[in-house]
Structure 1
Amino acid sequence: MAESVSDPGGRARAAFCAVPIERSGWQRQKLTDFVVHMASRSLVPVDAIVAKMLDWPTGANRSHDRGARPGHPFASGQKLALINGAGAPARHWVRRVEALTGQARLADLTLLPFADVLPDRRGLLNSRRRWCPACLQDDLTSGRDIYERLIWSLTLVTLCPVHAIALTDTCPTCGYRHGSELYRRSLSGFCARCHQWLGHCDQIAVPYETNGDHLRREQWTGQQLASLLDLPKRVIEGVAAEHFATLLDEGIQVLCDGNMKQFSRLCGRSPSSIAEWRAGKNYPSLPTLLDLSAKFGIPLRCWMTGERFELNPDKGYSESPIGLGPPIKPLSCSKSHMGWVAIEHTLREVVGDAKDKTSWAKLARRVNVDPSQLRRRYPDLARAIVAKARAGVTHTMTARHQARQEYLLHQVQTAIHMLLASGAEPTRRRIEDQLRKAGVAFRWADYPLIRRAWRNLPGHGES
């Protein structure tokens, strides 16, 4: 087994000589494949490196007892796909492999740089080893080092973003399905059972235009995730969950004029979920982010990086995926039959008319202009009209409440007089029966009226 040695100057040297083939961009190498290259270059079996030098974290640290049995990463039930993820197993392997190779920033071969915005780690990575036969064949024919990409491990990526063919986990020679990400005798580009070449590309890549909507959506998903992995290092360092809440607030304001319930209907999500996202209490899963990107035409990277994406109210979003229906536009973007001068005159007339209590939404429909666009053009008039409409609603509701209170009080007093005239004690139940016979609707909140009417009778005031 290779061990750390020192050069004549006393400086420690790495136990393995290995350099990542591609550590950036969407075609970056995955960490499990880097370990396979470590083993093949040193003529050491993969399981020997993993068992003796990497200490699989599921069992190595579970007990302080020296006799405790260490973990077995190749045992049934172990999720080796998590090595390429964004959790504790990935962090453990990065630290150990960096120490063995002397390489820095091996976290770039995993999803650790995106840990803050990819919280759904359980379903994020496919447990099977998958590959694109055409990409492997391209590596072979071009004379490049053969390696396996990180993007192939993502569950939501089913088509190669380059060749538009399905990723596969089945050996074309022996038919073996690779159910695990890593094997004891793994070799990049070769079957783990029969050790034959996996780059035989018998599939025919169907032209993108002739595929169905579902296939187009699958390719679009792969392109979105490839674009995310392709971000420069300086941009990835700024990835944060807070950017999603900021962009969400802007979308609610622009699309629905600040109406969160209306925005939730557009998204197909509950208002409580939208509220939790805005408050930062919860973060949407990757499939949800992709659904929002597809629906509103916003690139996936924008939700995570805070990249500005301008909304055109006349054309909608410009990056809507093909075949997923028309992009969603603001609620009303049609051209008005009135000019801006006439519209401003109408708004000022509404402000000056004390009897006109028209709401802002109704007024926008009257002039046939999107409410948010109208508000942005005339913010002062908008505030005045909204305040007047709210004051009018409050006055109307107060007047209705007072009128109902007076009506109920009169009906309760009439019922009490009728009971007293018949010689019956005016109890609450008897008063309720009299009100029902008279067809008067009442609620629990109206019960204080009975006591008030009783006190107003001669001889029944409070002592």
Structure 2
Amino acid sequence: MNPMLSNPRSELHALQPFGEGTGEVESLLSYFCRLAVSHSVSTLALSRSIAQRFEHKVTPNFDWHQRQFAGIRESAITWSAALSALTAVQGLDRLTFLPWQDVISQNGLSIVTRGQFCPACLADDLAQGREPYFRLAWESAEVRVCARHGSSLTTQCSHCGKDNIRHAAAYVVPGWCSHCGEFLGKTSSAAGMTDPASRWVARQIGELVAVQQVLETTPTRNKLINAITHLITELDHGQSAAFARRIGVAKSTVHHWLKGEGTPTLEASLKIAAQCGASLMQLLTGNLSDWERPQADQQLVLSLPQPTPRARAAQRELDWGDLERKLQEFLLLPTPISVLEAGRRLNVEARQLYLRANMTTRQLGERWKAYLRRRQVEHVVNAWPYLEQACIDIWAEGKAVTRREVAARVPAPILAPLTNLLLILKDVQSHLMKPDSEPGGEK
């Protein structure tokens, strides 16, 4: 088998996410915690290792659980792509809300800061022989109850009473308290049933999470705005101010959606769905073909001319079959290229390549790294005679071998390509100090 075309081994365990294709799919944060447990390392150590592996700047007070792994911001795509690259598991962005990033404003989806969970769900996991895990739906601050059990989500351990014990620790095993170690599936007698509105919200977001696993195309802002415009026309005769009053927002907010570049928050989209008799999924996907008006309206509607909307650039549809073929062609280039260069040539983010064409992208990466290693060996071989002579001359002058002394004696084009120059100089000096070695490397 051609090693270039083989599937490179993953650097981290290729764990499969739980609950795929359902409204109870695992969150990326839970997946990350299970990955740390699988490697018997702390979540902090794993997060720092991944950040350094992908050359992200890590501050001294870096705290992994403050990253919004499951949201729609830059952090979510960065960490989902990094984990896909290291585990060889494709599509880990489906463990986040990223599929909806074009139809929910960037600051419009709040992720809980104090990890919440449903004890009954964790108890079911254990009873059915599954490994307990945290659901993606629990990451949304809009969800306060369990859609399946109807009980309130909690952030407290029923055994020790500590709050925020789901993931705020260095070592986290999903399903067990990070403070006292007790199982979090022990339900509290105080847990009661919740109001219908909260359960409706939980069901809507659960449906959204389930649908995003099988989306054929990414939801677009244009379809969302067209759906909102249709609702305004059907329910409020095209009057955006009346529609704003209907859903309880300022009329300037609705105007910003329709005439500007604004996008509704998740909370606003839930209000629209609730007041207009549509589901959240229908609204965000822009598919109102099955929608019916919640009540008949006999008022006559005048056909008034509508202002021509400002043209917006059409969203680019990516043909991943064609992109896969082009990536395969890159594998056959005489001179390897990096994943970043491949993304530049295809006008696609490298992170998306890891998420949608995982194996071929990692083959490109391995080929590039092997090429860099070969080049470095060539540079060292080329520089070795110069470094040997420089060391001999420096010793003859009674000086210590330092980077500055070597740079004064070796041409800059010879030194520039070398990485880890000090380690190479140690090897050169060790070779020269062998009793049976001569300056030319001959015995």
Range into which the TM-score falls when normalised by the shorter chain:
0.5 to 0.7
Q: 1:73 aligns with which of 42, 62, 69?
A: 62
Q: Is this contact kept in 1: 2:99–2:212, CA < 8 A?
A: no
Q: Indicate conservation of the 8 Å contact 1:134/1:163, yes or no.
A: yes
Unaligned runs of 5+ in 1: 1-6, 63-68, 318-328, 334-369, 376-381, 387-463
1:15 pairs with one of 11, 14, 17? 11
Question: 2:271 — aligned with what?
Answer: 291
Look up the SS of the partner of 1:230 in the other structure.
helix
Question: Structure 2 counterpart of 1:222, which letter?
Answer: A
Q: Any residues of structure 2 matched to 1:47-446 within 5 Å, and which? A: 47-55=44-52, 61-62=56-57, 70-74=59-63, 80-121=66-107, 124-178=110-164, 181-203=167-189, 206=192, 215-231=195-211, 233-235=213-215, 237-310=217-290, 312=292, 316-317=293-294, 329=295, 332-333=297-298, 370-372=299-301
Deviations 1:14-36 (A, max 9, x none): 12222212333211111111111
Distance change in 2, residues 1:284/1:56 (3 Å): farther
Amino acid at match of 2:205: L
Query: What is the letter of the counterpart of residue 100 of structure 2?
Result: F
Cα distance change, pair 121–56 in 1 and its aligned pair in 2 (3 A): farther
Deviates more, 1:14-23 or 1:293-302: 14-23
Contact 1:36–1:187 (CA<8 Å) still a contact in 2? yes
State the Cα deviation string for residues 222-272 of structure 1 (Å, max 9, x = none).
111111111154436331121221122222222233333333333333333
User: How far apart are the structure 2 equivalents of 1:94 and 1:71?
Assistant: 23
**Greater radius of gyration (CA):** 1
Is the 8 Å Cα contact of residues 244 and 306 (structure 1) preserved in structure 2? yes
CA distance in 2: counterparts of 1:245 and 1:42, whole angstroms: 45
CA-based RMSD of the aligned residues comes to 3.0
Structure-2 residue corresponding to 1:36: 33
Amino acid paired to 1:52: S
Change (3 A) 1:11 1:371: closer
- Give per-residue Cα distances to partners, 1:193-225, cap 9 Å, x unaligned: 111111001246656xxx6xxx21111111111
Shift in CA distance, 133/56, structure 1 to aligned 2, threshold 3 Å: farther
CA distance in 2, matches of 1:274, 1:238: 23
CA separation of 1:219 and 1:81: change in aligned 2, threshold 3 A: farther
Change (3 A) 1:249 1:137: same
Post-superposition shift, 1:43? 2.0
Q: CA separation of 1:254/1:183 partners in 2, compared to 1, >3 Å: closer, same or farther?
A: same
Aligned AA for 1:150?
L
Provide closer, same or farther for how the CA distance between residues 262 and 176 of structure 1 changes in structure 2, counting only shifts above 3 A.
closer
Preserved contact between residue 22 and residue 209 of structure 2 (Cα < 8 Å): yes
- State whether residues 156 and 165 of structure 2, in contact with CA within 8 Å, keep that contact through their aligned partners in structure 1: no
| Structure 1 ranges of 4+ moved more than 6 A | none
Higher relative contact order (CA 8 A, sep 6+): 2
- Letter of the 1:108 counterpart: R
Compared CA separation, residues 98 and 182, structure 1 to 2 (3 A)? farther
Amino-acid identity (%): 23
TM (norm. structure 1) is 0.59
Question: Using the alignment, how far apart are the partners of 2:59 and 2:34 within structure 1?
Answer: 25
In the superposition, relative to structure 1, how do residues 201 and 72 fare at CA in structure 2: closer, same or farther (>3 Å)?
same
CA distance 1:19–1:120, change in 2 (3 Å): same
SS of equivalent to 1:273: helix
State the Cα deviation string for residues 33-55 of structure 1 (Å, max 9, x = none). 11111122222222221122334
Query: More displaced, 102-111 or 198-207?
Result: 198-207
Aligned positions, number? 302
The alpha-carbon distance between structure 1 residues 280 and 28, as it changes in their structure 2 partners (threshold 3 A), is farther
**CA spacing shift, 1:120–1:180, aligned 2, 3 Å:** farther
- Report the CA distance shift for 1:245/1:11 in structure 2 as closer, same or farther (over 3 A): closer
TM-score, normalized by length of structure 2? 0.62
Residue-by-residue CA offset, 1:54-95 (whole Å, 9 max, x unaligned): 3499xx645xxxxxx745433xxx762511111121122122
